Structure formats: C-alpha cells, structure tokens
A = this chain, B = another copy of it.
Amino acid sequence: MKKFLEPESVALIGVPRQSGPGSYNNAETMLRYGFQGRIYPINPNAAEICGLKAYPAVGDVPDTVDLAVISVGRDRVIPMVEKCIQAGIRRIVIITQGFADADAAGRDMQARILTMARESGVRILGPNTMGVVNNFKRFTTAFIDLEPPRDFPPVSLIAQTGVIQVAAQNMAYRNWGKAIDIGNGADLDVVDALEYLAADPETKVIAVYLEGVSRGRAFLEAASRAALSKPVLVFKSGRSRAGARAALSHTGSLVGEDHVFDAAFQRAGVLRVKSGMELKDAIRALLLMGEMKGPRLGVLTITGAGGIMVADACEDFGLTLARLPEGLAETLQKGIPDWIHIGNPIDIWPVGMIGGNYPGVFGLSLEALLRSPEVDGVVVILPVTNSPLHANLNMENVVARVRQQVGNSKPVALWPYIDTDAFIDRYEAIPGVACFDTIEQAVQGLSFCHHYHLAKTRSIPVQKQFPYDHEALKPILRKGRQDRILLGEDAMSLLRIFGIPTAGGAMAASGQDLPAAAASLRYPLVLKLSGRAFLHKSEWGGVVTGIRNGEELRSAYEAMIRKVRERDPGVAVGAVQVQEQIQGRELLMGLKRDPQFGPVIACGMGGIHAEILKDVHQSIIPIDQAEALHMLTSLKMFPLLKGVRGEASVDLTSLADCLERLSFLALEIPDITELDLNPVMAMLKGCAVVDARILWE
C-alpha cells in the first residue's frame, strides 16, 4: 500500500490532451499540487501534455513505473490493466466508474479485473475511486484541482468515496495527512488500508468512512489491532433504511443491518461517529486531547448559563459532573461575599470580578480541577476578545502555565467565545487543549476521549468451553440439517445438550400419548401445537396455558384439534408439545449469522412488547461472562430484571451463563443460520427456555 501513497514515478493512462478549465486533467492537478516524482502521461494522440513528454502506451515508458492511474471509459479499462501488467507495473489505481457500482456487465468486468490482479500479483485500488492524497509528499491522483494545504495534521482517511478527501476543509480537522479512497474495493479494501495506516508512523488518528464491508471478520481484526495503537473513528452511513438503499446503488458494497455494525465497532474498539460534524469534532478531540480516563468533568465557566448547558450535555453524552475538589470552595470563598455560591460548574465570574482577581482564581481553580483525583477532564468556558479593554480576560498564559505545572494527563476542552477565530490556534498550541464551536461539542469531544479510553482498555472476550455429549448431539443435528429446522422438543433437546436450561417438556404423538407425556412433568402444564405448519402458534389458537390436571389436558387437546380443523381442514395436527408452565420475566435470546461479521448473539425484552419496543442488545461472538452481563445491563428493561420497588433480582448469573453457552453453541455448530429462544423465562433462581426455533439456511 505504501508505494500507492509515495510512488517515485506515475503513469497516467487516459489523461486528456487538453488542460485548463473544465478538462479534469490529472497530470495538471498532480503538477499543481506540487508532486516532485516523475509523471508519464499516456496518450497515443499527444507528444506532450502539460509540458510533460507523453507516451503512446505504458509499455513505451523508459523507466520503472511505480504506479499507474487509469481513467479511460469503462470498456477500455481491462485492456489497459492488461498492458500495465505486461509492462511490469505492480500498482494500479482505476478511477473509472461503472463497475460493481453500476450493473451486471460492470460487476463482470470488475470480477475479471480482480482475477487478473490475483493471477499477476498486481494490486489494484478502485475502480470508482479518486485514488489517494498524501500531503507529506504533495501527491494526489485526483482530477479535482485542490489547494495543497500549508498545514495538515497526522490524521489519515480511508473512505469508500472521494468526497471526503476532496472536502478535507469541511470534514477533516484542518485537512488530512493522507487519504485513501478505496472506491469499489475490488482488490485493496478497507482492511488493507487499515493495516497500512495502523503501522504508519505519519498517522496518529485514523478516520474511516464506510457504507458497508465485504470482509467483516478481517475488518474486525484489522480495526481491533489498529485501535490498540491509535484512535480509529468510523463514520458508517447507510444507517437508515433509505440510506442503505442509496448505499447499495452507490458503491455496490454489502450494507448490513446497522446495529450489527454497532456491535462490530464496539468489539473492535473503534469509535463510531454519525455525522460530518461529529467526525470533525472527534478528530480534533482525539488528536489534541487524547484519552480521558473517567467520565467526571470539572467545569470552569464565566457564565452560569454555560454551566447549565454543560450539565445538559453531560447527560446527552454520558459524562458526569465531578465533585468539587476538596478545599477549593473555601479557598475561593475568601474575600468574596457569602452569597456567591461555589459548586461544580464553578461560576468564576462573580468570584473573579467581585474579588478583583480573575486570573488568580481562574488559575487556582483550573489547577485544583486538574490535580483532583475526582476529576477526569475539564471544560472551560471563557471570553476571548481582541478588545484592548479586556486584555485582562485573556487566560492563555494562565492555561499554559497550569498545564506545565500539572502535566498533560487530563484533557481540557474550551469554548472560547467572542473573537474566537483569533484565539483558537493560540489555545490549541497548549498541550491537551482543544477548542470547540459550541459548549455541547466541547462536552461531546471529551466524551470521545473517554470512549477512546474505554476502547483502549477494553477486555477482549475469550470463549469459555463447555463439555457436552457429542454422541447425543449427532442424531438431532442430523435431523436439523436434513429438515433445515428444529422446533419444539427437538430444538429443546439440542439446547439441553449444551446445558442451556429449558422448561421440562415432552411430545405426545396423539391424544392417547398425552398421559405418558405428562407423567414426568409437574402441573400446571402448557399444551402447544408443534410442527412447521404452526410457526405462528398463537394464530392457530395453538397455545393453552394453566392446565391443572390430566382431564383439563385432554379437553384442551380436543379443543385445539377442533380449532385447527375449523381454520383449515386440510392440516393435520400431528404431535403436540406438553410443557411445564413457568413464571418469570420474559426475555428473548437468539443467534444470527451476519453476512459480514458472522455469528451475532442477541438478548432483549421478550413478550408482546418485544417487537414494538426493540429493546435488544447485540454482540459479536464470542462473548464471555462480562460481555453477557453487559448485554443484560444495557437493556432498557434491565431495572425490571434487577427488581423494581424492592422486588428481588432475577438470576442474572444464570442468564449470563445461558448467553455464554449460546455463544459456544454458535461456534460448535457453525452452520446454524438462525436460532430464536423466545421467551426465555428469568426467575429468582435460574432461567428456562420456553420456546425455541433453530434454522439452517
């Protein structure tokens, strides 16, 4: 990948003869950008382009070509790739669009190009890409003329689009250091780019724009490794259904279910942003401030209203207000009237004005906040003004001095107002200090720093192994794979093999078998229809609860048969399931095979509210006990599990164990495509699956 960003010689295939306005001549843009390497325009109809000698074909270039950039019409791309391969060129950027992003013919051509690349060992970036920008080398492959930045941070971008590299002033913090547009990602993709940037010493923060991924597990691993050494931000669009549809038509990549991406990003330790604004702010926060080790904010404000806005934003972004450092209130209270209330947020205006020593109390307070073991980061709200009348309000030297005295272990986010633009650079030159456009963005910036800390220090789950009876599994697995589905007692017995607790139950092939089926079970019982015809049992009147004895069981069975016949005389009832009735809080658990990320485990609220309230947490497999408990505590319904109004908690350990076993099961039987346990009853002691369905594709 490296030579894509810093080639010494480049061949431009498809560069137009014209240059100047409206020509999109990438020899011209490359020259204007200040690239110092050798440029070879390839054009059979020109001897010279932009003052550079042109060659009829790549094979004619009398030099080693590190990189070829192809921008001919889509039908001429394959022959050009062929010529590059023949000429011994090892790296190709294909700018041209109209491949997997367009139609079936385009997809076929893209597949052909990929085969050519694989067979020859040549690496391809694109098609449908702007290529790369590397400001360290003043190199760009784009055909859009951009001003090379005087100043750019060590922040690099990987995107499935060119717009974010072109709009560097709009979506980056100042600019990008390097940018890679993977386009359709036919060969080189986000995984390759991540691996390169993770190891790149010129990159301190990685920003990724994704619409989908095609190698989900590899992405997870590459992102996870990258996140250990530097912050990785992901702006994943196509969150909404309409957005996903638009994404499909855009780059032709796989767009998965959005909350599976959330689970994957969480597992990989990368931070998700949801807008261009968040992208910019998160980069600024992480680049300038780094980690914040806890959620507790100290607030130093020259306006009471600002303190309230910080408090609101804390709640929005998951941070808290710290306790005031011990002794600080007493110190500040000296020499000022009693009626001035001192708390956190510290409203420095009355203290500083009435005491007549604003810089003194400002410095004292900032230092106390930064030294306090109760404070993890600080928000400062202060006026910055060019007015000669207010030079005394300028706290730049105070902030710098305190920073030097206390060291750089805690971030400081500023909202500097009035003549903001004149002061940002000066405040941001102080280590660990970043300035934001609004108070809310300052707090959100710190929350990114905190989430980065959580991501960096997260533990990576290791799957616990559970012994099970491999022999007992064989026949039931055979049946499942043959029928592509397991229901009722069949599904239950598979679960029992893996030690997942289930409601006691048995099948009765007919009415006569009911007493035998019920013999080993405790009343009250539930009678259920079973079999593929009755996937939605309740629609058939196929669940009868509260059966208190053998007589009621028989009459429930007869009534059930009658109902089915009434609804559809052609359907046979077959075997029915008799099950012990269990009381508890209803949850659902499940497994799903995601096309990108593989097995995903879910846990959420069960019962009638499940589908409406969508209170479900998903995790990528494997999970461990800590992650299983995290899944449970993340639910909105968690207080119900924990017990409201003095009720006892349900058995959370047993629910977590159940989830861990489910994760193990998913790894042991990797061909299951879907598994639903709904409901799982959580009890004061233990839990039990009441209904289950297991599917093979």
Contacts and interface: CB of A to CB of B under 8 A. Distances in A.
10 contacts: A98-B339, A103-B338, A146-B387, A159-B305, A161-B303, A163-B302, A166-B418, A167-B383, A167-B417, A243-B311
Copies per assembly: 2
A-B complex: 7 closest residue pairs judged by Cβ atoms: A240-B315, A250-B304, A161-B305, A276-B438, A243-B311, A167-B417, A102-B339
A159 B21 CA distance: 50
A160 interface: yes
Contacts of A166: 383, 417-418
Given A277-B438, A277-B440, A145 B387 contact: yes
B383 A144 contact: yes
A296 B506 CA distance: 55
A559 interface: no
Interface in A252-294: 274-277
A302 B161 CA distance: 11
Contacts of A47: none
Interface stretch (A468-476, A550-558, A633-641, A678-686): A633-641
B240 A314 contact: yes
Contacts of A609: 609, 613, 637, 640
A326 B663 CA distance: 51
A536 interface: yes
A103 B303 contact: no
A309 B640 contact: no
B637 A389 contact: no
A523 B438 CA distance: 63
A576 B683 CA distance: 32
Contacts of A45: none
A163 to B, nearest CB: 4
B21 A418 contact: no
Contact of A243 (B315, B320, B388, B611): B315
Contacts of A457: none
B440 A163 contact: no
A339 B305 contact: no
Contacts of A449: none
A189 interface: no
A22 interface: yes
Interface centre among A345, A441, A608, A609 (most CB of B within 10 A): A609
A494 to B, nearest CB: 27
A220 to B, nearest CB: 22
Contact of A418 (B146, B238, B274, B437): B146
Interface in A125-150: 144-147
Contacts of A102: 339-341
A16 interface: no
A283 B97 CA distance: 40
A321 B106 CA distance: 27
Interface of A: 20-24, 28-29, 97-98, 101-103, 105-106, 144-147, 159-164, 166-167, 169-171, 209, 211, 237-243, 245-247, 249-251, 274-277, 302-316, 320-321, 337-341, 343, 345, 347, 350, 353, 383, 385-392, 417-420, 437-441, 536, 539, 608-609, 611-613, 615, 636-637, 639-640, 644-646
Nearest to A341: B249
A512 to B, nearest CB: 31
Given A160-B305, A211-B305, A243-B308, 18 more contacts: A22-B390, A22-B392, A28-B389, A98-B339, A102-B339, A103-B339, A145-B387, A162-B303, A170-B418, A237-B309, A238-B312, A239-B312, A240-B311, A243-B312, A250-B304, A274-B440, A277-B440, A609-B640
A537 to B, nearest CB: 12
A536 B147 CA distance: 71
B339 A106 contact: yes
A163 B636 contact: no
A20 B390 CA distance: 9
Contacts of A29: 389
A257 to B, nearest CB: 14
A159 B417 CA distance: 17
Interface centre among A146, A312, A345, A347 (most CB of B within 10 A): A312
A124 to B, nearest CB: 20
B389 A251 contact: no
Nearest to A170: B417
Contact of A390 (B21, B340, B608, B637): B21
A307 B239 contact: no
B250 A437 contact: no
Given A211-B308, A242-B315, A418 B613 contact: no
A387 B340 CA distance: 56
A507 B524 CA distance: 33
A365 B258 CA distance: 31
Contact of A613 (B209, B238, B383, B613): B613
Nearest to A635: B612
Contacts of A350: 97-98
Contact of A311 (B28, B245, B613): B245
Interface centre among A105, A341, A612 (most CB of B within 10 A): A612
Contact of A145 (B162, B389, B417): B389
Nearest to A99: B339
A645 B321 contact: no
Given A242-B314, A308-B246, A640-B608, A536 B211 contact: no
Contacts of A441: 277
Contacts of A241: 315
